[in-house]
Amino acid sequence: GAVVSQHPSWVICKSGTSVKIECRSLDFQATTMFWYRQFPKQSLMLMATSNEGSKATYEQGVEKDKFLINHASLTLSTLTVTSAHPEDSSFYICSARDQRAENTGELFFGEGSRLTVL
Amino acid sequence: SQQGEEDPQALSIQEGENATMNCSYKTSINNLQWYRQNSGRGLVHLILIRSNEREKHSGRLRVTLDTSKKSSSLLITASRAADTASYFCATDQSDDYKLSFGAGTTVTVRA
C-alpha cells in the first residue's frame, strides 16, 4: 500500500522557537494532504487541508499564522509550528490522498510527530 | 470537527473472543471508515463502507452501517493479542476526504 513518512517522529524544543514537521508521500503523488492534531487519549482533530500549489485551508479555530503549512510539491507538505508554547505540545499526524485511489476514499497516514515544548 | 461518538470507550476481552464497538454520527455522510491506531503511532485504514452499503467484510472484520440510525459497528472476530489498539470511526460527509473522527474505542486483548 501507499506509504506516508513523517519526520521527525519526535521533537523537543524550547518555548518561543519554531518547529517544522515534514510529511512525504513516498511512492505516490498526493495533491491533497491533511494535518491533524491529537491530544493524549483523545481523537484526531483536523487542523487544515494542504493542497499542492495553493494555500492551505484551515479549520475553524486553527491559527494560520501559528501553524504554517506549505505544500510545494506533490510529495511533500510541511507544518511549521511558529513561536511554539507548551500548549502546542501534541501529537501531529498527516495524511495523504493518493491520486491513483481517487474512488476508494482511503487516506494514508504518517506515523505522527510528537512535539514537546518546554 | 468531531462528529462521531464511539461506544464503548474501552473494551477488554480474552484472546479468541469477538470484539464489537459502535459508532454514532450526527450528519449525513458519503462514507464511513474505520481505522486502527497502535499506541503512539499513526493510523492504519481498516475498512470503508459507503452510505449505500449495509454491511462489509474484510478478513476478521465485519462492518455494518445503518444510515437511518446514523450508526455503524465494527466486529473483530477471533481476536488476537495483536488486535490490541485504539479503533476510530471516521466519517466523510462530502467525498472530499475531510474526515471527522470519533472519540475511539481502546481494545485490549488478553492472552
C-alpha B92/C-alpha B24 separation (Å) is 13
Cell of A68: 504554517
- Measured between CB atoms, which of B1, B42, B97 is closest to A32? B97
User: How many other CB atoms sit within 10 Å of the CB of residue A11?
Assistant: 17
User: Which of A43, A47, A60, A102 should we substitute to test contact with B (largest number of B Cβ atoms within 10 Å)?
Assistant: A43
Q: Give the residue numbers in B contacting A (CB under 8 Å), as ranges.
A: 1-2, 30-31, 33, 35, 40-45, 48, 50, 88, 92, 95, 97-104, 106
CA dihedral over B30, A73, A48, A9, signed as positive or negative: positive
Buried b (16+ CB within 10 A) or exposed e, A69-99: bebeebbbbbbebeebeeebbbbbbbbbbbe
How far lies A21's CA from each of A57, A110, B20, in Å?
18, 11, 36
Q: Is A2 on the interface with B (CB under 8 A)?
A: no
Query: How far off is chain B from A114, nearest CA to CA, in Å?
Result: 8
Q: Give the nearest chain B residue to A91 (CA atoms).
A: B40
B95 close to B30: Cβ distance less than 8 angstroms? yes
Residue A115 forms beta bridges with which residues? Answer: A11, A90
Looking at residue A82, what is its pLDDT? Answer: 97
Contacts of A45 in chain B (CB under 8 A): 1-2, 101
Q: Is A112 on the interface with B (CB under 8 A)?
A: yes
Cβ–Cβ gap B99/A110 under 8 Å: no
C-alpha B111/C-alpha B108 separation (Å) is 10
Cβ–Cβ gap B103/A34 under 8 Å: no
Q: Where are the beta strands (DSSP E) in B1-111?
A: 5-7, 10-14, 19-24, 31-37, 43-50, 55-58, 61-66, 71-76, 85-92, 99-101, 105-110
Contacts across the A-B interface (CB distance below 8 Å):
63
Residue in the block written with cell 510529511: A23
Mean pLDDT along residues A49-64: 91
Looking at residue A51, what is its pLDDT? Answer: 87
The mean pLDDT values, 10 residues at a time, for chain B of 111 residues are 76 97 93 93 92 96 97 97 96 84 94 91
Looking at residue B24, what is its pLDDT? Answer: 95
Looking at residue A53, what is its pLDDT? Answer: 83
Residue type, A45: M
Nearest Cα neighbor of A35 from A19, A21, A54, A55 is: A21
Q: Give the nearest chain A residue to B102 (CA atoms).
A: A43
Q: Is A114 on the interface with B (CB under 8 A)?
A: yes
Contacts of A46 in chain B (CB under 8 A): 1, 98-100
Looking at residue B1, what is its pLDDT? Answer: 47
Place A102 in a pLDDT band, splitting at 50, 70 and 90: low
Looking at residue A69, what is its pLDDT? Answer: 95
State chain A's mean pLDDT as an integer.
91
Looking at residue B59, what is its pLDDT? Answer: 96
- pLDDT (tens digit per residue) in A66-99: 999 999 889 999 999 999 999 999 999 999 988 7
